[in-house]
Amino acid sequence: MKTHSIALIPGDGIGVDVTDATMEVLTAAGEAHGFALKTETFPWSCEYYVETGAMMPADGIETLRGFDAVYLGAVGWPKTVPDSVSLHGLLLPIRKAFTQYANIRPHRLLKGVEGPLKAEGFDILCIRENTEGEYSGAGGRVHEGTANEVAVETSIFTRAGVERILRFGFEQAMQRRKHLTSVTKSNAQKYSMVFWDEVTKELAAEYPEVTVSHMHIDAMAAKMVMAPEQLDVVVASNLFGDILTDLGAAIQGGLGFAASANINPDRTAPSMFEPVHGSAPDIAGKGLANPIAAIWSGAMMLEHLGEAEAASAILTAIEAATATGVGTRPGSHSTGEITAAVIAALKG
Ligand code: IPM
Ligand code: MN
């Protein structure tokens, strides 16, 4: 039987709850579709940081490199470890070390889920640059604590980085409705964002079938609320994509439904799959977390691993559950009830 090796990093808070739920569903999908998942769980988290002084061991990245994929629940427990420390110690280094340059996030309403908008028929694939841009981590502080203190944080846009994320976007658009929206702020940021617009135009010439819109981030925020059904593939820089995908999560009914994949399209290292939501300390361990975003992210992982049938069966099962109201409103069902409903539908 085909076996895929998965490194599990449940992380903090509800990350643990939703990782357990996801693995139950993925295991059931494997039984139905003839593959197995060989998992190893790593306790890397804020608790691990408190015990060891690091979010993961020094050879953590090398350990993960041997797996077919990484599945991550959530990172963050600000009561004990500042978010700027925990995220720069685990999630962000993995994205960068494994060149997971495409962060892809689907935004559409699952059956039975009511979003806050009148619009219903939207189906957006947000593609966020995931390794450079505004989150490159280049910068520093001098004269700390004095009146002359200076903080500098530099955005980095490389031709290689901008070109590959846009190319990935064009390729996705070719498989979908052949429309790509490139999001910048080139009216105000005259170097990096004008450069991004130029690269978009260069690539557009290679993909004549794809219609391209150039939008500024501010107008784009409004469009995602006023006319999301006009969007197909959306490509944005790290910061802009980060913000737009929380907006995307909101219009699809909330973070409980927002799935995400950090993809290394060249497959030179494992890709990582995680729900968009965080660790939600207030409801951690109470069985209240909605596992749908996490399970959907797990389906994206199976698709990446070549198990497209199982992935689409999971999506169908999720929607069979939500169509009957399971997991569609906060607090209406427990994590276990939602997971059981998805598995029941999967076994159909
Ligand atoms: C996300 C998260 C992370 C990000 C944070 C926690 C660093 O908000 O995945 O969207 O911005 O990359
Ligand atoms: Mn975010």
* Domain residue spans of the chain: 1-108+255-348, 116-138+152-251
Å from CA of 146 to ligand 1 middle: 30
What are the average pLDDT values for consecutive 10-residue runs of the chain, which has 348 residues? 97 98 98 98 98 98 98 98 96 96 98 94 97 95 98 98 98 98 98 98 98 98 98 98 98 97 98 97 96 98 98 98 96 96 96
242 lines ligand 1 (CB under 6 A): yes
**Cβ contact 150:141 at 8 Å:** yes
Q: Going by CA atoms, what residue is nearest to atom 4 of ligand 1?
A: 242
To test the pocket of ligand 1, the residue of 91, 129, 245, 297 to mutate (highest count of ligand atoms within 8 Å of its CB) is 91
**What six digits make up the tokens of 94?**
């993995």
Which of these, 117, 30, 65, 9, lies nearest to 271 by C-alpha position? Answer: 65
250 lines ligand 1 (CB under 6 A): no
Å from CA of 92 to ligand 2 middle: 12
CATH class of 1-108+255-348: alpha beta
3-state secondary structure of 57: coil
Ligand 1 atom with the shortest distance to the CA of 92: 7
* pLDDT attached to residue 320: 98
Q: Going by CA atoms, what residue is nearest to atom 12 of ligand 1?
A: 242
Cite the active site residues.
135, 185, 218, 242, 246
**pTM score over 0.85:** yes
* pLDDT attached to residue 265: 98
For residue 241, count CB atoms less than 10 angstroms from its CB and return exposed for 0-12, middle for 13-18, buried for 19 or more.
buried
87 lines ligand 1 (CB under 6 A): yes
**Cβ contact 131:271 at 8 Å:** no
DSSP state of 54: S
Q: Which residue is associated with the tokens 């015990």?
A: 51
243 lines ligand 1 (CB under 6 A): no
**How many angstroms separate the CA atoms of 3 and 36, rounded?**
5
3-state secondary structure of 234: strand
CATH number of 116-138+152-251: 3.40.50
* pLDDT attached to residue 348: 87
Which of these, 59, 5, 73, 52, lies nearest to 289 by C-alpha position? Answer: 73
